[in-house]
């Protein structure tokens, strides 16, 4: 049985609108004008603290207070417009039926990750969920992957996969010795990382892994 670890934002879900909403509500709380969705999305991928520092650079003296507000706003709005990418539920079900063990490993804070998976009806597919804050380090550090494997009750193997849309996912997989699937449809960027497989639609994943 093989193991497959997924990123969340830009891989399983399109969360851009809700991320931008929460950031702009936080900016509004501190008297700052809104930023475009594209500007906010460019700041996503390396955890909520860096999101705030990058998306609200005007007031570093208020970052701690802004971080607290961001958590509140995002928890309240994380499922307003967030959707699964096409084919996600069906493909996850097919992978489980084919014997794959699945886990989510994301830099999104754990307390909001689990409600999103539940709310979108896919939590049942995952034997482990590791979010930002569950380990001291975030991806690209491999520690979150190792914790997910521990929670699955498995040992990471060179035949296991990490799937994601960002360099943090590809690098974490590389550091953990896993094969890597780059999800080109997402909103991350690979930077200098390499991959073993690239897909343009999530629905292509099962067939691509079986080749």
Active site residues: 7
Residues 29 and 8 sit within 8 Å (Cβ to Cβ): no
Q: Which residues pair with 83 in a beta bridge?
A: 14
SS3 category, 67: helix
Nearest to 126 by CA among 95, 98, 104: 104
State how far the Cα of 105 lies from the Cα of 64, in Å rounded to an integer.
Answer: 25
List CB contacts of 178: < 8 A, sequence separation 6 or more: 5, 145, 156, 158, 160, 161, 162
Nearest to 117 by CA among 107, 126, 109: 126
């Amino acid at each position: 049985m093989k193991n497959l670890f997924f990123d969340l934002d830009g891989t399983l879900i399109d969360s851009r609108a809700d991320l931008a909403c929460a950031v702009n509500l936080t900016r509004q709380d501190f008297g700052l004008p809104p930023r475009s969705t594209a500007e906010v999305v460019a700041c996503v991928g390396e955890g909520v603290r860096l999101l705030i520092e990058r998306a609200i650079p005007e007031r570093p003296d208020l970052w701690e207070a802004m971080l607290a507000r961001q958590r509140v706003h995002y928890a309240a709005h994380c499922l307003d417009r967030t959707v699964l990418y096409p084919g996600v539920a069906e493909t996850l079900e097919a992978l489980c039926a084919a014997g794959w063990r699945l886990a989510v490993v994301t830099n999104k804070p754990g307390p909001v990750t689990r409600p999103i998976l539940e709310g979108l009806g896919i939590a049942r597919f995952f034997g482990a969920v590791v979010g930002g804050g569950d380990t001291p380090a975030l991806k690209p550090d491999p520690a979150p992957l190792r914790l997910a494997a521990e929670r699955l009750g498995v040992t990471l193997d060179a035949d296991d996969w990490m799937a994601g849309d960002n360099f943090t996912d590809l690098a974490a997989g590389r550091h953990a010795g896993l094969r890597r699937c780059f999800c080109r449809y997402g909103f991350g960027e690979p930077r200098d990382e390499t991959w073993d497989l690239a897909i343009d639609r999530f629905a292509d994943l099962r067939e691509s892994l079986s080749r």
